[in-house]
Amino acid sequence: MRKIKNSGKITIQTILYLIMIIIIIVVGSRIYSKYNYYDYMKGVRETGKTTFTRDHEVRYSEMDSYKIENTDFNDAMFFKEIAVEPYTAYRVTCMVKTENVENQENKYTAGAQISINNTMESSDALTETNDWQKISFEFNSNNRTEVEIGFRLGGYEDYSKGTAWFSDFTLEKGEIDTDTNWNMVCFVLNNLDVTLENGERVQFFMSESDKRTIEENLQRFQNTIGDLSGNNMSISYDIIEIEEPVTTLSYDEENEYYVGQEDVDELIREYVEQEEYDYIYVAVRLGDLNVSDEVLVHDWIGLRRNGISPNWLCKYSHAR
């Protein structure tokens, strides 16, 4: 029997086959990397306006970034369910880069941000074009055991278009706050001058009697907290008057006109960034109780999100 010797030569067909295998592996790896979101899910308000990818070219660190591109005004996010301990403070951070991000109706509450899905709880939002920068979001779990943390281009009730990249996510558990004093502030907005959608101009002004009532109620609340808690808890408060008028009001069919966060944010922002407050209240006259047809809204006390927490507790102060 003739023995066939191995010539040691590699045929052209073998080389081509190996090249094809390498190309398939490389291309497949890139496709997998581009569309592999690991444990993150995609959420979008309107289909056909958003592209989700992992970006290998635009990165903050060694890991591919998470890219959201809204070709038209939309609300979209990558989100992930995480387990939390009830009534515990948490901080979420990430690096964000944006390109040509703009908001529908120029609302500041939309843009590239961190948020909790299906709630109004969110970080400050980035718009326009920005290089990589760190944003953070503090929240209290309250009675929840799971939350869906989202990295969002848009807003709870708003829409954005443009491109945002998110990278280097962190989650930190806060320490228990043993401070028994609540530091509060009440912003007294002395003037309201709003032109409604129907063209009607509405003007109201805080009277000296109104301001005395506010001071008396806060003082009474301070005394009540001490009495009810057996002096185990206390509050301190500031009253800050602002003369610059409120020029917009929010509206929905259930509550009609009301003072929303976007209506007063620019008026109070400089104050709350200088001091750490646990609770923030805003007092503004919205009607004359003696003239029923001039009352714009029913009674509102403070500013709240879905009846759960003060509007700015998570934005400007530590979460208890």
- Kindly report the number of other CB atoms within 10 A of residue 92's CB atom: 22
Number of domains in the chain: 2
Q: Which residues contact 64 (CB under 8 A, 6 or more apart)?
A: 33, 34, 54, 55, 56
Question: pLDDT tens, position by position, for the chain (320 residues)?
Answer: 455 455 555 677 766 666 676 665 555 555 544 445 668 999 999 999 999 999 999 999 988 999 999 999 999 999 999 999 998 989 999 999 999 999 998 777 899 999 999 998 999 899 999 999 999 999 989 899 999 999 999 998 889 999 999 999 999 998 766 788 889 999 999 999 999 888 889 898 999 999 999 999 999 999 998 888 888 889 999 999 999 999 988 887 766 788 887 789 889 988 988 888 888 889 988 776 554 455 444 444 443 333 223 322 222 233 32
192 in the same domain as 151? no
Q: Are residues 165 and 247 in the same domain?
A: no
User: Is the domain of 185 the same as that of 252?
Assistant: yes
To 5 degrees, how large is the angle CA 211–CA 216–CA 221? 125
What contacts 227, CB < 8 A, 6 or more positions away?
none
Domain boundary among 173, 204, 225: 173
CA distance 117 to 251: 22
Report yes or no on 261 lying in a domain: yes
Of the residues 122, 157, 173, which one is the last residue of a structural domain? 173
Q: Where are the beta strands (DSSP E) in 17-156?
A: 41-44, 50-55, 65-74, 76-83, 89-103, 111-116, 128-140, 146-154
In 3D space, the residue among 256, 280, 310 whose CA is nearest the CA of residue 183 turns out to be 280
Question: Domain range holding 279?
Answer: 181-316
Task: Write down the pTM of the prediction.
Answer: 0.62
CA–CA separation, 284 and 268 (whole Å): 13
The confidence score (pLDDT) of residue 36 equals: 55
Of the candidates 270, 278, 263, the one whose C-alpha atom is nearest the C-alpha of residue 312 is 278
Do the Cβ atoms of 313 and 280 come closer than 8 Å? yes
Q: Give the pLDDT of residue 251.
A: 80
pLDDT tens for residues 244-291?
A: 999 988 887 766 788 887 789 889 988 988 888 888 889 988 776 554
Same domain, 130 and 195: no
